[in-house]
Amino acid sequence: MSLLAGIAVDLGATVVGSILKNVLPRKSQEVIGSVAEKLGVEPTEEAIIQQYDVHPESVTAAIDETEHELMAESEHAAAVLTSYHEILTSDANSDSFIARNWRPLNGLAFGLEMMVVVGTVCYAVVNEIPINSDLIPLLSMIGTAISAHAAVIGVYTWRRTTEKMNGHG
């Protein structure tokens, strides 16, 4: 465990301390950078520790502020996951056949579309079929099917986003 992680834990900043234990190296660097920026020092553990030796109250305040920022970030992520779970539960419990089953049917349709695309390409490669004007209608049908599929997803996402912004979901 790093010395800075020990200081953070001693100050009661358990989230900062846990991250600085190098559980998440990239996040550790973000935390060190955030604390260092608040202190106006180099973004290194050593610089923060040197500042702590001289001005422990400023380091304590910077670590506390970073702890609160991380907690807010975690709470936001939890709220997003909870909201998504509520949407899935609402759809699963809906009286509407389409609302209950659109996700699995959509996944099945997309899988079939991709199977057609991959099958077509494999068939063309194995049989050495040159791409000519005879294949253009087939390729455009596949492109149209994939575009229609993407449009359905886009409209649903747009509609759900509007509902969420209006507080209905």
Residues 6+ apart with CB under 8 A from 41: 47, 48, 50, 51
The pLDDT value given to residue 92: 82
- On the 0-12 / 13-18 / 19+ scale of CB atoms within 10 A, 96 is exposed
* Full-model pTM: 0.53
Q: Which tokens sit at 99? A: 């609302």
How much is the average pLDDT of 12-41? 79
Give residue-wise pLDDT tens across range 110-161.
Answer: 778 778 888 888 888 899 877 778 777 877 887 887 888 777 767 766 666 6
- Report which of residues 169 and 23 the model is more confident about: 23
- 59-84 burial, b at 16+ Cβ within 10 Å, e below that, comes to bbebbbebbeebeeeeeeeeeeeeee
Residue 4 in contact with residue 45, Cβ under 8 Å? yes
pLDDT at 75 over 50: yes
Please tell me the least confidently modeled range out of 8-17, 35-44, 120-129. Answer: 8-17
pLDDT at 35 over 70: yes
H-helix segments, the chain: 3-10, 14-18, 25-39, 45-54, 56-92, 97-126, 136-165
Q: Residue 166: phi, psi to the nearest 5?
A: -90, 5
